[in-house]
């Protein structure tokens, strides 16, 4: 079965330094191995893809990527350079790779222009954003220009985790909880809620957001969101669609990246429906073959399996 992965990371030697904050939270030998694989875009990666039965990787720069750059001008230059490089990789292997662009959100207008260039001229399928950009989240009014462009181009933004500005108060003093094991998921789910309640999807009703890691837990809490929103003090905030779950149904797509477990997959299928779930591995941080084997053997219908493996990606990303 054709299989397309949506959370498939790489890095270049020039941009490797941005990964320092992630390196600090991973065991050193594991990080060394991941770094080697991140830098290898087309050699061992293709061999592994063949062995795992992964036909296409939609490549993205590893976290935190360009978001970690403090200088806006440098972010613009480097985002363009890495998008050009990625386009070259895809051009050389059009049946094996596609790409999500990196965006220099430090300069919102330049980021919108780069998204347009990346999609229209370089053939990117959307963009991947790693959490915040120097403390700025995607509901920031200045970033509406990026959403407007994404909606106009009809491409998704993939919101990927990274370290937060600070540790949330409740886990301060617990550095072992910072990272993909815990805080990245809760931070990214909260970021999604900021987009909903910050009006992004009311302003851009056809905007499409991708979340990895089986939706960062959101499918599990959908019912409670609606029930408690009806009960809450709204503090003057209203949602055009009424219930928060409507935004999960209309604007959200999730990937299976980094989650090879049937219960959250079945929950997501029931909560969001089979059209909204796409396959991803989170390579090189997870094992590609474990992920494809999970997809092949998951207790779901063959029709749903085909949608998750390739059908939804073909539609959403025009692959």
**Closer by beta carbon to ligand GRE, 164 or else 180:** 180
The interface partner of residue 62, options being Zn ion, ligand GRE, none and the CB cut-off 5 to 8 Å by kind, is ligand GRE
Query: Residues 147 to 186: which contact Zn ion by CB under 5 A?
Result: none
- The CA angle 132-196-205, to the nearest 5 degrees, is 110
Round to whole Å and give the CA distance between 40 and 47.
11
**Closer by beta carbon to ligand GRE, 63 or else 207:** 63
Active-site annotation holder among 187, 282, 287, 304: 282
If one asks whether residue 282 binds Zn ion (CB under 5 A), the answer comes out as yes
Q: Which residues, in sequence order, are CB contacts of 231 under 8 Å at separation 6+?
A: none
Instruction: With contacts defined by CB under 5 A, name the span among 113-121, 186-194, 269-277, 278-286 that binds Zn ion.
Output: 278-286
Instruction: With contacts defined by CB under 5 A, name the span among 13-21, 168-176, 182-190, 274-282 that binds Zn ion.
Output: 274-282
Instruction: With contacts defined by CB under 5 A, name the span among 34-42, 149-157, 276-284, 303-311 that binds Zn ion.
Output: 276-284
Please, what is the minimum distance in Å from the beta carbon of residue 19 to ligand GRE? 7
**Beta strands of the chain (E only): which ranges?**
4-10, 56-61, 97-99, 127-130, 157-160, 209-211, 252-255, 277-278
The interface partner of residue 26, options being ligand GRE, Zn ion, none and the CB cut-off 5 to 8 Å by kind, is ligand GRE
Please, what is the minimum distance in Å from the beta carbon of residue 100 to ligand GRE? 13
**Nearest C-alpha neighbor of 16 from the set 36, 42, 30:** 36
Please, what is the minimum distance in Å from the beta carbon of residue 235 to Zn ion? 33
**Closer by beta carbon to ligand GRE, 22 or else 157:** 22
Round to whole Å and give the CA distance between 211 and 54.
20
**Nearest C-alpha neighbor of 7 from the set 184, 159, 182, 153:** 159
**By the criterion CB under 6 A, which residues form the site for ligand GRE?**
9, 22, 26, 62-63, 180, 258, 282, 285
Could you give the C-alpha distances from 31 to 95, 145, 163, 234, 290, in angstroms and in order? 29, 36, 16, 44, 19
Catalytic: 282?
Answer: yes
Round to whole Å and give the CA distance between 111 and 50.
35
Round to whole Å and give the CA distance between 149 and 156.
10
The interface partner of residue 137, options being Zn ion, ligand GRE, none and the CB cut-off 5 to 8 Å by kind, is none
**Closer by beta carbon to Zn ion, 147 or else 184:** 184
**Closer by beta carbon to ligand GRE, 175 or else 205:** 175
DSSP letters along 65-77, please? GGGG-S-HHHHHH
Round to whole Å and give the CA distance between 109 and 119.
16
**Closer by beta carbon to ligand GRE, 57 or else 113:** 57
Q: Is the dihedral of CA 185, 187, 150, 65 positive or negative?
A: negative
The interface partner of residue 264, options being ligand GRE, Zn ion, none and the CB cut-off 5 to 8 Å by kind, is none
The interface partner of residue 114, options being ligand GRE, Zn ion, none and the CB cut-off 5 to 8 Å by kind, is none
- The residues assigned a catalytic role are 282
* Residues forming the site for Zn ion (CB under 5 A): 7, 282
């Amino acid at each position: 079965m054709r299989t397309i992965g949506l959370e498939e990371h790489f890095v270049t030697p020039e941009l490797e330094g941005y990964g320092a904050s992630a390196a600090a939270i991973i065991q050193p030998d594991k990080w060394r191995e991941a770094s080697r694989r991140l830098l290898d875009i087309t050699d061992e990666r293709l061999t592994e893809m063949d062995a795992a039965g992964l036909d296409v990787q939609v490549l993205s720069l590893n976290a935190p990527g360009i978001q970690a750059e403090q200088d806006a001008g440098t972010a613009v230059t480097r985002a363009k350079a890495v998008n050009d490089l990625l386009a070259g990789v895809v051009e050389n292997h059009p049946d094996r790779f596609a790409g999500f662009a990196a965006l220099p959100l430090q300069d919102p207008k330049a980021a919108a222009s780069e998204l347009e260039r990346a999609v229209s001229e370089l053939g990117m399928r959307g963009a991947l954003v790693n959490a915040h950009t120097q403390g700025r989240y995607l509901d920031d009014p200045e970033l509406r220009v990026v959403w407007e462009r994404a909606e106009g181009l009809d491409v998704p933004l993939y919101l990927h985790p990274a370290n937060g500005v600070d540790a949330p108060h409740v886990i301060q003093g617990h550095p072992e909880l910072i990272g993909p094991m815990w805080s990245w998921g809760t931070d990214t789910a909260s970021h999604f809620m900021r987009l909903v309640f910050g009006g992004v999807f009311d302003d851009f009703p056809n905007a499409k957001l991708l979340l990895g890691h089986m939706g960062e837990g959101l499918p599990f809490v959908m019912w409670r969101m609606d029930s408690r929103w009806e009960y809450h003090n709204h503090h003057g905030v209203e949602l055009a669609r009424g219930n928060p779950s409507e935004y999960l149904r209309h604007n959200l797509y999730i990937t299976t990246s980094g989650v090879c477990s049937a219960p959250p997959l079945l929950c997501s299928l029931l909560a969001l429906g089979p059209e909204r779930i796409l396959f991803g591995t989170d390579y090189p941080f997870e094992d590609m073959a474990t992920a494809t084997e999970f997809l092949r053997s998951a207790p779901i219908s063959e029709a749903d399996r085909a949608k998750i493996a390739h059908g939804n990606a073909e539609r959403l990303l025009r692959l």
